[in-house]
Every structure is written in structure tokens, then in C-alpha cells.
Structure 1
Amino acid sequence: MNNFTLKFNNPELELQYQEEKIQKIRKRVFYLFMALGLILNISKVILDIVEFKPFTQYINYILVGLISILVPISIKWPLNIRYTLMVANISTALLQMNFTETTKAQMYYNYGSNFTQFQTCAYFVSDFLDSVVQVICHTIIKSSITIYQTKSVDPQDILMNVGAAIIISIVIYICDSHSRKEFLQNICENIWDQQLPEIIKKPYFQVTYNKNLLQFNVLSWNEIEQFPSYCDQICQGCNVRNFLRLYKCDDKELGQQLQQLIAGTIKIHNGKQKFKIRIINIGVDYTNKIIILDNSLSQHSDLSLMMSIKKTMNFYIKQSSCKSQQVFFNWGMMSLLLINDFTIQEIQLYKLIKKLNAIYQKQKQFDFFVKGDENIVFKGYINLIRIYLIQVYQILTQIYEYQEKKKKRHIENKSIPIFISIYKETDTICIQLPPTINYFLFICKYTKNIFITQIEQTILSTPLSNDLKINFNTCVPFKKI
């Protein structure tokens, strides 16, 4: 922000400030200013016409014409309200010529005080530089009209005009500076709220205590569904208030504890359920609090246990993979271990299908054929897709075996052909399963498969339909942790 002009160095930020100032106060003040000015000037014109002196008070005619020009400009170009308001306010200085020597002194003073109040309102609604221009113009016009009508120069009057202009300019500078700093603070708070999930990277919620309503209001949250006792049938605020009411710390409700100035990691419990949360106090008076679900010890323990199991299973699989029938057992074990593995990797679907075909064709009763674009590549959850395809292949082989037995064919002597095609369709990668398969039997086994039901929504863009077309989702936003 420029220390002299008070303008933001960033043009986009300056434009955003101007738009907010227009919407919050400047537009309202301008139109009230114009409406009141139009009413007063037209009423004065009507009174002059009634008194048979239609052109004696020509200032009112000028101001009515000026208002009829400024209002349409402001409606069509709202950003120009700052300039139309400045022109309208400067023009009010001409009203000093509306009075004659016959005007009573007290009435003249009263009118002058009212004009000054209107002008001051426009000063504080305008930007600093616009206000300074208005103050300078008013000072010059007032002094010039006074000198012209009195035919004399009063040094004390000129000194007072200049002194008043300097003082009000200083006050406007301070007020406009504070207004812009408040705007920047609001911008920073919004950015802070947006960046909190990236900074904390844990389930949390931010609350403030409303003393009038005697309740906590939720300001922001992240993964609030991870908190215990969460219910998706009620609002986020109700979930938070239930959590603060149900869980206790030192035999006191968590909500009561938060009303005190406590911070750091504390233990909370609800019956046999125990958790660790971290409390952070923010703000000048520490009324805003961030509560983070910090169950780090149990998470670390679970992670260590899972890593130990994976290490043992990997060792076992490597030792037993040389056996011909062991590969399917190994796949089942790996599926159990990798069902929650969200590793993102580049997937060459044609090569993956061919590898599965080669493994299943070793059973001799199946002949797998794949056709389609060999260059289809996309990023996805590689381990979840492998698990999914393994389950689909298992279902295919089971159903084809059943169909061949029903036809009383000897599957030991004759291979069963299974045709699969892959292709790209808009934003999805598709696998077309064989249309000759028994659809109802396939769907029955498909929907009951525990692996498929758990990962289908994650890797597919749409559920499997009647045409047996699998649509993989290629828009993977992030790596889940």
C-alpha cells in the first residue's frame, strides 16, 4: 500500500477494495445523496415558480441537470460512483450563492451547517485522494464566493478555511488508512481459513463462543466426520456442540473447559472412549479456538503394526510365489493388505490386462483375448485397480466355468474364449466385458464381492451398468493419506 496515496500496489487488490466499498456503503450514500438533492432542488424550483421568480435561483436548475446526468452514469458504470459522488459533492459548494443579503443570519448559518454535514459524509465515503480534491475545491469555491460577494478579504477567514481543510484531510487519511488495513485483515483471515487444512492436515474444527446465545459457533472445519460421535443427519455446528457436550476432561464438559483459557494437548473421554485433542487459542482475546483430533499414539501404533504385517506377508509371498497354484492365494493376501493403499501411479492398462490374461491362461481352460489402444495411459490408484481387476477376472472365470458345465462341455479338453476390449471415451478409460456372459449371474457375484464394494466408488466414474462397461475415473485429485 502506498503511504501517500493509500492505494494498493496490486491492481487486482485495489479493484477488489473499490468493489467492496461500493457495495457496502458508497452506492447507498450516493443514491441517498442524489435522491435528497433532487427533492430539495426541485422543491426550491417549484417554490420559485410559484413566487413568479423562475430564473432568480439558477443554481438549483444547474444541480437538477447535473443529477440527471450523474445518476444514469452511475447505474451503467458502478465503478465510476467514486467520481460521480466527487462531482456531486463539489457542486454543492455552489449553493452558497443561493442566499442574498436579505437572508437572516441564523437561517444562513443553519443552512451552512447542514451543507457541511452532507459534504463531510461524502468525504468519508470517498477515497483519500478523492476526498482531498473535494476539500480543496470546497475551500477555494467558498473563499472565492465570500470574497466576491463581500468585496473584501478577511485573513482570519482564509486562515480558518485552510486550517480546517488540513485538519479534515489528516482525519480522512487516518480513517481511510484504517479502512484499507481492515480490508487487508479480512483478506488475510479468509486466506488463513482456506490454508488451515493444508497447515494442520488433521481433523479439526474452529469455534468461537457466543456469550449472548451461550453456545459455540463453528467457523471452519476439516474432516469433521473423523471426530467421534459424528452424525451425518445433523448440521456441522450441531455435531461440534454434541462433541463438546458429550466428551469430558477432568469430569467437566469439554465445552465448559473451552470457555477457560486452556491450550495444549489434553485427554478427553466419553465412557470407555478416550482421545487426545490439541487446543490452540487464536485472536486478540483468545475467543476463537482450534480443536485438533490428535490421537497420535494410537495412529503410530496402528501404522507400526500394519508395516510389520506387510513386511511378514511380503517375505512369505516371495518365498512361495514359485508354486503354480500359489499365485491366486498370494493375490488374495495382497488384496487384504493393499485394500486401503491409495498410491497414485501411471497405469498402462493394456499391459496390465495382458499380464492378467497370461496368468489366467496358464490354467489351460481359458483363452483370454484383448483388443484396443495399446497406448492408453492414465494416473490412478494402481493397487486398488489391480485388486478390482483380479476380482473381475475371478468372477468371469467362475461364470464361464458354470456356463460350460451347464452346456455339458468338457472344459478340460476345450479352451473357453474370453474377449475383453479397452478404449478411451471422453474423460474415462473403459473396459468392455464379454457380452456373452450371463449378466444376472455376473452382477449377483459382483455386488456381493467385498473388495469390489469397498473400492468401486473410488476408482470408477460411474457404477457398472447393464452393458457390462467398466468406466475408470481418470481425474484423481490427490493422494489419500
Structure 2
Amino acid sequence: MNNFTLKFFNPELELQYQNEKIQKIRKRVFYLFMALGLILNITKVILDIIEIKPFTQYINYILVGLISILVPISIKWPLYIRYTLMVANISTALLQLNFTESTKAQMYYNYGSNFTQFQTCAYFVSDFIDSVVQVICHTIIKTSITIYETRNIDPQDILMSVGAAIIISIVIYICDSNSRKEFLQNICENIWDQQLPEIIKKPYFQVSYNKALLQFNVLSWNDIDLFPSYCDQMCQGCNVRNFLRLFKCDEKDLGQMLQQVTTGTIQIHYGKQKFKIRIINIGVDYTNKIIILDDTLTQNSNHTLMISIKKTMSLYLKQSSNKSYQTFFNWGMMSLVLINDFTIQEIQLCKLIKKLNAIFQKQKLFDFFLRGDQNIVFKGYINLIRIYLIQVYLILIQVYDHQEKKKKRKCEHKPIPIFISIYKEIDKICIQLPPTTNYLLFICKYTKNIFITQIESTILAAPLSNDLKIYLNTCVPFKIID
């Protein structure tokens, strides 16, 4: 930053600063300045016409015309507001010509004070160099008009005008310098937040304590899923607050400790879990803190291992053959991988069931038929529903195979027809399994299925009924993940 002009050496940074100042304050002050100036000047013209004062009207005419030019320029080129504001503010010095010897002293003083306030406001929303130009022009114009009107040169008045101009220039310099430093500080903070994950390679989160709401707000994080007690069904803020509430240090909640000036490495625990975290305070008031996970737990290592296993399994499933026994094996592997996947997508139930029907019909032992509403679409846990239906199909095959063997029929000569219906029942979506199914055998296998018992309560609106109706849950509390 140039120490004299206070202009940034980087042109892009200077342009960013100008745009921010225009949006925050300069544009609002300019348009308010123009609106008020237009109202006052037009009012003055009307009053002069009524009172028949033709010799003072031309000043207000000039100012109205100037406003009519400056406003369109500022609207079309917003960056030029700094210059149009400067021109408009300098032109206000000409209003001194509106006053004559008949103007009362107190009125003259009051008007002068008001004009000075407006002009000073424009100084402080302008850049330092622009403000200095305005101060110099105002000083010269006011002094020149005073000397011309009074036909007298007052050294004390001139000295006071120069002294006031110097003092206000110094104050504007300090204010504009501080404004630019604050802008640079905000830029640095944004860069710091962006680069923090690169600087801190370990899992961490940054929080700020809100005293009004009595809660911690999460500012940034990295690998937050490696922290203990993390749940992918909750937002990041809820995960952090849950972590601060559960874990303790010396029988004191971690959240309570963070409200104090705590720094360094400490050991925390929850039940039998013990590990170390590092706390870093940021800022003067220590309300912003960074919590770094220093000592990774075994369960976190297992979590990382599971991610690696999932990737390997996914690659294997894509490369495996299309044989029937291989398909069933792949489904089992896929169920293990996706059993905790709560991804929500739009589900076309008919399309999903038809796909399962086509796969099972390749066994040439069963013919699956779909009946009912084929336009049912809803939002749900796509992978959990897929796992659930796969297990239901497998149980159906086992039950029908047992029934046919009991009847001593040769199933290979004639495929067994299995009819599945789907429809809407009020606000519920129902899948009707074949009523000819051996209910007791089906329920026995259904209740012992490890996958079904784990995800049934999540995806079903009600438990499986005696007439083998499956009611799917269509009310999910989370957002759709593309």
C-alpha cells in the first residue's frame, strides 16, 4: 500500500476494495446526497421565482443540471461514483453565492454549518486523495467568494481555513488507512480459512462461541468424520456440539472448558475411550478456537480401514462376472458395504422392482410379475431400500422352493409364478407380497435376517403386517444427496 496515496500496489486488490466500498456505503451516500440536493435546489428555484429573485436562480439551475448529468453516469458506470461524488461535493461550495447582505447572520451561520456537515460526510466515504482534492477546492472557493463579497482580506480567516483543511486531511488519512487495513485483514482471514485444511493435516474443527445463543458455531473443519461419536445423519454443527457435550476432561465437559482460556494438549475421555486433542485460541477475546485430533483412536483407524475395504469391494463388484451365483454373492457384498449408507434419492419403485424381477428370472425357476401403479415415485434411502428388497426376494425364493419340494414337483420344467403388487394406500406406498406364501416360514426367515432387522425401522412406515403388506416410509428428515 502506498504510504502517501494509500492506494494498493496490486491493481486487482485496489479494484476489489473500490467495489466493496461502493457496495457498502459510497453508493448509498451518493444517491442520498443527490436526492437531497435535487429536492433542495428545486425548492430554492421555486421560492426565488415566487419572490422574484432572478439574480440567484442561476446557481441552483447549474446544480440541478449537474445532478442530472452525474446520476446517469453513476448508474451506468458504478466505479465512477468516486469521481461523481467528488464533483458533486465540490459544487456545493457555490451555494455560498445564494446568500446576500440581507441574509441574517444566524441563518447564514446555520446554513453554513449544515453544508459543512454534508461536505464532511462526503469526505469520509471518498478515498483519501479524492477527499484532499475536495478539501482544497472547498477552501479555495469559500475563501475566494468571501474575499469577493466582502472586499476584504482577513488573515485570521485565511489561517483558520488552511488550519482546518490540514487537520481534517490528517483525520481522513488515518480513517482511510484504517479502513484499508481492515479490508486487508478480512482478506487475510478468508485466505486463512481456505488454507487451514492444508496447514493442519490432522482432523480438526474450528468453532466460535456465541454468548447470546449459548452455543458453539462451526466455522471450518477437516476430516471431521474421523472424530469419535461422528454420525453422518447429523449436520456438522450438531456433530461438533455432540462431541463437546459427550467428552470430558477431569470430569468437566469439553464444551465448558472451551468457554475458558484453555490452550495446549489435553486428554479427554468418554466411557472407555481416551485420546488427546490440541486446543489453539484465535483472536484477542479467545472466542474462536481450533480443536485438533492428535491421538487417533483404534475405532477411527478401523473406520479408515473400512473406507479402504469399501473401495476395494466396489471395484471387485464392478469387475465380477454375471453368473447367477456370482450375482447373489455380489449382492451380499454390496449389502455389507451399503448397510449404513443413508443417501436419499428419488426412487421409481416400478423400475426398481422390474430390475429385480429380471435378475431373478434368469434362474429359470421363477417367473416374477409386477402389478399395480407403475408411476409411483418417492424420495427415500435408495441403498437401504435396495438391500431390503433383495433380502425379501431371497426369502421368497427360499419359501417357494421349500413349498415346491414339499409338493414333490419338478420346478425346472415349469417356472413358478410369483406376483407382486404395488399401490398407494391413502398417503402410504404399499408392496403386496404373494398371499399364497407360507406366512409362518416367511416370517421366521424375515425376523432372523440380519440386514432386515437392522434397516427395517428406518425404511418402513409400519412393521410387516400379517397379510404380507410392506409399507414404505416416504417421510425422510434429510436433504437429497445427488
TM-score category by the smaller chain?
A: 0.5 to 0.7
Determine if contact 1:92/1:115 at 8 Å carries over to the other structure.
yes
Question: 1:274/1:135 Cα in 2 relative to 1: closer, same or farther (>3 Å)?
Answer: same
* Alignment length (residue pairs): 343
Structure 1 unpaired stretches of 5+: 307-336, 343-383, 403-440, 458-464, 469-481
Written as runs of structure 1 = structure 2, the 5 A alignment for 1:1-80 is 1-54=1-54, 56-80=56-80
Give per-residue Cα distances to partners, 1:385-435, cap 9 Å, x unaligned: 7x7665555534x45xx8xxxxxxxxxxxxxxxxxxxxxxxxxxxxxxxxx
- Counterpart of 1:448 in structure 2: which amino acid? G
Structure 2 unpaired stretches of 5+: 342-351, 360-482
State the distance in 1 between where 2:208 and 2:78 align. 37
Correspondence 1:243 to 2:243: yes
Written as runs of structure 1 = structure 2, the 5 A alignment for 1:173-184 is 173-184=173-184
Following superposition, the deviation at residue 245 of structure 1 comes to: 1.5
Determine if contact 1:447/1:453 at 8 Å carries over to the other structure.
no
- Counterpart of 2:197 in structure 1: which amino acid? P
* Partner of residue 186, structure 2: 186
Name which of 354, 375, 395 aligns with 2:321.
Answer: 395
Question: 1:45/1:224 Cα in 2 relative to 1: closer, same or farther (>3 Å)?
Answer: same
Following superposition, the deviation at residue 48 of structure 1 comes to: 1.4
Question: 1:278/1:164 Cα in 2 relative to 1: closer, same or farther (>3 Å)?
Answer: same
State the secondary structure of the residue aligned to 1:207.
strand
Cα RMSD of the aligned pairs, angstroms, is 2.9
TM-score by length of 1: 0.66
State the distance in 2 between where 1:250 and 1:268 align. 8
Following superposition, the deviation at residue 36 of structure 1 comes to: 0.8
Question: 1:43/1:266 Cα in 2 relative to 1: closer, same or farther (>3 Å)?
Answer: same
State the secondary structure of the residue aligned to 1:143.
helix
Give per-residue Cα distances to partners, 1:291-318, cap 9 Å, x unaligned: 1122247599x69xx9xxxxxxxxxxxx
Following superposition, the deviation at residue 135 of structure 1 comes to: 0.5
Correspondence 1:448 to 2:332: yes
Following superposition, the deviation at residue 156 of structure 1 comes to: 1.0
- Counterpart of 2:308 in structure 1: which amino acid? N
* Partner of residue 81, structure 1: 81
Question: 1:339/1:57 Cα in 2 relative to 1: closer, same or farther (>3 Å)?
Answer: closer
Following superposition, the deviation at residue 451 of structure 1 comes to: 10
State the distance in 2 between where 1:170 and 1:122 align. 16
Following superposition, the deviation at residue 51 of structure 1 comes to: 1.9
* Partner of residue 98, structure 2: 98
* Partner of residue 274, structure 2: 274
Determine if contact 1:26/1:126 at 8 Å carries over to the other structure.
yes
State the secondary structure of the residue aligned to 1:5.
coil
**Percent of pairs identical after alignment?**
79
State the secondary structure of the residue aligned to 2:308.
coil
Determine if contact 1:395/1:445 at 8 Å carries over to the other structure.
no
* Partner of residue 283, structure 1: 283
State the distance in 2 between where 1:235 and 1:119 align. 51
Determine if contact 1:94/1:141 at 8 Å carries over to the other structure.
yes
State the distance in 2 between where 1:188 and 1:103 align. 55
Following superposition, the deviation at residue 268 of structure 1 comes to: 1.4
State the distance in 1 between where 2:319 and 2:88 align. 79
TM-score by length of 2: 0.66
* Partner of residue 196, structure 1: 196
Determine if contact 2:206/2:290 at 8 Å carries over to the other structure.
yes
Correspondence 1:340 to 2:266: no
* Partner of residue 117, structure 2: 117
Following superposition, the deviation at residue 171 of structure 1 comes to: 0.7
Following superposition, the deviation at residue 229 of structure 1 comes to: 2.4
Give per-residue Cα distances to partners, 1:88-119, cap 9 Å, x unaligned: 00000001111000000011001001100100
Determine if contact 1:5/1:129 at 8 Å carries over to the other structure.
yes
Determine if contact 2:56/2:97 at 8 Å carries over to the other structure.
no
Question: 1:338/1:192 Cα in 2 relative to 1: closer, same or farther (>3 Å)?
Answer: closer
Following superposition, the deviation at residue 216 of structure 1 comes to: 1.9
Determine if contact 1:276/1:295 at 8 Å carries over to the other structure.
yes
Written as runs of structure 1 = structure 2, the 5 A alignment for 1:72-471 is 72-296=72-296, 298=298, 340=308, 391=317, 394-396=320-322, 398-399=323-324, 442=327, 444-450=328-334, 453=337
